[in-house]
Amino acid sequence: MDQRFFKMKIAEDLKQIILKAVETSGFKVDKEKIKLEHPSDINFGDYSTNIAMVLAKEDGKNPRELANEIIKNIGNSELIDKVEVAGTGFINFYLKPEVMIEEAETINYEVEFRNKLSEYGKNKTMVIDYSAPNIAKPFGIGHLRSTDIGQAIYNLYKILGWNCIGDNHIGDWGTQYGKLTAAIIRAKNGDKRFQIGDNFELEKMTIADLEKLYVTFHKEAEVDESLIDEGRDWFAKLENGDKEAREIWQKCIDISLLEFEKVYQMLGVHIDFIHGESFYEDMLPGIMKEIEGKGITKKSEGATIVELPEMPPAMLRKSNETTTYFTRDMATIKYRIENWNPDLIVYEVGVDQQLHFRQVFETAKLMGWWPKNGMIHVAHGLIRWPTGKFSTRKGDTIHLSDVIEKATEEAEKIAEKSSVNKDLTATEKGKMIKAVALGAIKFSDLAADPRKDVIFDWDKIMSLDGDSGPYLQYTYARCKSVLNKTAIREQKNIETLPEDVNEDEVALIREFYKFEEKIIEAAERFSPAVIAEYILGVARKYNEFYAKNRIIDQKEEVFRVFLTKTTASVIETGLDLLGIETVEKM
């Protein structure tokens, strides 16, 4: 899944220095083979490489001796303070304080920081397919995950200068809408099993009615199999432009889109385009012809399938001539390539669709519809609940509204107990509760690697001293309250480190320069969790520092305010990338 699109400045310069030293020592090495990492213990420097061990192994040499030889060939540089050999042959680098200070300063000048980052993705375009709920179905927790992660990936690429296009591939076409239409027709014709309200009126239907009808349809179909055929027929009618089918379907879309819009507004999400599956309808005959023309299809029991290596065939056209989810995804790719010519296409969709995307990607490759940097399925895991802690109204699909309601209750509790809250106005308090509730939900979604499942545990999600959104928001508010108490609250830069700098301060200053790298790493790995983890680390180090050091009216005030200011900048920008709001007071 990893892609390398970016070159990081400090790490890249360091690799160049290592490369030269290695070559001077008489070795040849591919620069890409030089690995750098941050030692977890800062007593081993800021960066460490195992290159001496790798080369020694290839050459049958003593790795430690070789490491010592290499470091002799590392001359003075603007980056490095000192170099050491450690353990069985690691080479550890300590960055110059000036370098770390300069990086921290840049973060405080937001425009400058953003300009610097935007150089990375110049002239690159990515399309990201995310959220994509289905009409007539509630916006569930799975689509929330796609929305949160998708938006964060969008934000990451955007800050790195990519031209980003968010495309919402709403589910509004397919057999399931035939089923829904069948259910609505039955409700309209007074079939008691499908009764909703006293008098059926298409105009007055709500999203809850649609959901109910859809669930009823499936329940009834278990005892009355003819319903399944009826649903299939209605989809065929829909595809053939039947007037009544179209009218009902359009109504369902209108109701659902209004509902989704409300959800997006509440979540603070804006997706550039909505192109539902139905959008591609006109393209489908041509697409099928083109794929058939490539000679990769076969007839099978009246259907047309695409045969693929090492995976089951994909269905291009069903025996009743209707199209499939797969066909529509192929049309979507063609459309995106023709319209936007992207370098990269990202799909943020649940892991249960892995096979589907393998089939789609393989077929796209065979067709030559393949962007320069490829296509990626960021397959998110499930959200799970520790049993007993959360139940839904109906006990079935988990509705986003239930989750938000519960998070809001918890945020209200935080508002009550928080000590720095006293001077909050009612409006500020309302804003804070909303930011904390949404921040908690989003953060828990984003802090786990997308590919892993998330356990939604309310105590952890809302904890003010754990790895949570509220903890970060609280730390940010703490920084703000410190800054409000000093006259030098705009302390964005400093000359050098103080002579008697202490270990809490050092630990912090040695974190900030990593921000840029982490943004790049998060983008390359399509994992907003990299950012979540990083800002948590900064917040923890800040809170350790805060617990032990006074800031205001100390001789170290300038330096400590600078550390506070930079921490606030990192948390604010980091949370912003994750789509989470900060609050000034909490």
Binding interface with ligand ARG (CB under 6 A): 129, 132, 134, 169, 171, 329, 332, 347, 349
Least Å distance between CB 581 and ligand ARG?
Answer: 27
Indicate the residue among 280 and 562 with the shorter CB distance to ligand ARG.
Answer: 280
Q: Which is nearer to ligand ARG, 330 or 538 (CB)?
A: 330
- Strands (E) across 67-108 are located at 80-86, 90-95
- Between 267 and 461, whose beta carbon lies closer to ligand ARG? 267
Q: In whole angstroms, what is the distance from residue 414 CA to residue 391 CA?
A: 22
CA distance 133 to 171: 6
What minimum distance in Å lies between the beta carbon of 177 and ligand ARG? 12
Residue 174 CB, nearest approach to ligand ARG (Å): 9
Q: How far is CA 23 from CA 33, 63, 70, 71, 299, in A?
A: 14, 16, 9, 12, 60
DSSP state of 78: S
Q: Which residue's CB is nearer to ligand ARG, number 95 or number 284?
A: 284
Alpha-carbon Rg for the chain in angstroms: 28
What is the nearest approach in angstroms of ligand ARG to the Cβ of residue 344?
Answer: 15
Q: Which is nearer to ligand ARG, 263 or 539 (CB)?
A: 263
DSSP assignment of 19-67: HHHHHHTT----GGG---B--SSGGG-SEEE-HHHHHHHHHT--HHHHH
What single-letter amino acid sits at 230? E
Q: Which is nearer to ligand ARG, 147 or 527 (CB)?
A: 147
Q: Cα(458)–Cα(239) distance, rounded to whole angstroms?
A: 45
At 534, which amino acid appears?
A: Y
Please state the closest distance from residue 85 (CB atom) to ligand ARG, in A.
51
Q: How far is the CB of 354 from ligand ARG (least distance, A)?
A: 12
- Could you tell me the smallest distance in angstroms from the CB atom of residue 60 to ligand ARG? 52
Residue 277 vs 467, nearer CB to ligand ARG: 277
For ligand ARG, the closer of residues 134 and 151 by Cβ is: 134
- Shortest Å distance, C-beta 135 to ligand ARG: 9
Residue 345 vs 536, nearer CB to ligand ARG: 345
Point out which residues pair with 171 in neighbouring strands.
134
3-state secondary structure of 70: helix
Of residues 325 and 385, the one with the C-beta less far from ligand ARG: 325
Question: Residue 225 and residue 230: Cα distance in Å, rounded?
Answer: 9
What is the 8-class DSSP label of residue 136?
T
DSSP code of 193? G
> Is 453 within 8 Å of 385 (Cβ atoms)?
no
Give the residue at shortest CB distance from ligand ARG: 171
Considering the complex, what minimum distance in angstroms separates the CB of residue 285 from ligand ARG?
A: 20
Q: Which is nearer to ligand ARG, 27 or 130 (CB)?
A: 130
By beta-carbon proximity to ligand ARG, the closer residue of 129 and 211 is 129
Q: Which residue's CB is nearer to ligand ARG, number 132 or number 454?
A: 132
**Which amino acid, residue 355?**
L
Please compute, for residue 132, the number of CA atoms within 13 A of its CA located in the half-sphere on the CB side: 21
Distance CA 513, CA 98 (A): 11
- 3-state SS, one letter per residue, for 359-424: HHHHHHHHHCCCCCCCEEEEEECCEECCCCCCCCCCCCCCEHHHHHHHHHHHHHHHHHHCHHHCCC
Please report how close the Cβ of residue 132 comes to ligand ARG at its closest, in angstroms: 4
> Least distance from C-beta 579 to ligand ARG, angstroms?
19
Interhelix angle for 243-267 vs 175-188, to 10°? Answer: 110
How far is it, in rounded angstroms, from Cα 517 to Cα 519? 5
| Residue 358 Cβ vs ligand ARG, minimum distance, rounded to whole Å | 13
Closest approach, Cβ 469 to ligand ARG, in A, equals 25
**For ligand ARG, the closer CB: 138 or 231:** 138
Q: Which region, left, alpha or beta, applies to residue 526 given φ > 0 means left and ψ of -120 to 50 means alpha?
A: left
- CB nearer to ligand ARG: give 134 or 418: 134
* Amino acid (one-letter) located at 308: L
User: Do residues 440 and 407 lie in contact, with contact meaning Cβ atoms separated by under 8 Å?
Assistant: yes
Task: Enumerate long-range contacts of 328-331, CB under 8 Å, 24 or more apart.
Answer: 328/173, 328/174, 328/277, 328/280, 328/284, 329/356, 329/360, 330/287, 330/291, 330/360, 330/363, 330/364, 330/367, 330/369, 331/280, 331/283, 331/284, 331/287
- Residue 81 has φ and ψ, to the nearest 5°, of -85, -55
What is the nearest approach in angstroms of ligand ARG to the Cβ of residue 347? 6
Q: In this structure, what token pair is assigned to residue 182? A: 């069948």
Quick check: 48 and 93 in contact, CB under 8 A? Answer: yes
Cα 305 → chain centroid: 33
Smallest gap from Cβ 125 to ligand ARG, in A, equals 18
